[in-house]
Amino acid sequence: MANHQSAEKRIRQDQKKRLHNRYYAKTTRNAVKKLRLSTDKKEAEEMYPKVVSMLDRLSKRNIIHRNKAANLKSSLAKKVKSL
């Protein structure tokens, strides 16, 4: 375990950041899933910009990789267009 005060503080900070990141990642995953399962074109078109914004925010903060965000956005755009 940590022997230094600064190491203990770093552990506390990392735990707090981890919980914060997990919350936003999970929220985004749920939004992506909801958009994928959507069958109403109008509703999907309204949701798409919000989900894209969430993905961009996660990739900007290095919670998910930027290429993963790009792949998700691309597949979701294709899905919305095909409805």
pLDDT tens-digit map of 19-60: 999 999 999 999 999 999 999 999 999 999 999 999 999 999
**CATH code for 5-82?**
1.20.58.110
* Predicted pLDDT of residue 3: 87
* DSSP character at residue 20: H
Band of residue 65 on the pLDDT scale cut at 50, 70, 90: very high
* Predicted pLDDT of residue 36: 96
Q: Do 58 and 24 form a contact (C-beta atoms < 8 A)?
A: yes
* Domain regions of the chain by residue span: 5-82
* Type and span of the H or E element at 4: none
Instruction: Please give the model's pTM, rounded to 2 decimal places.
Output: 0.86
Which pair of tokens denotes residue 81?
Answer: 């267009």
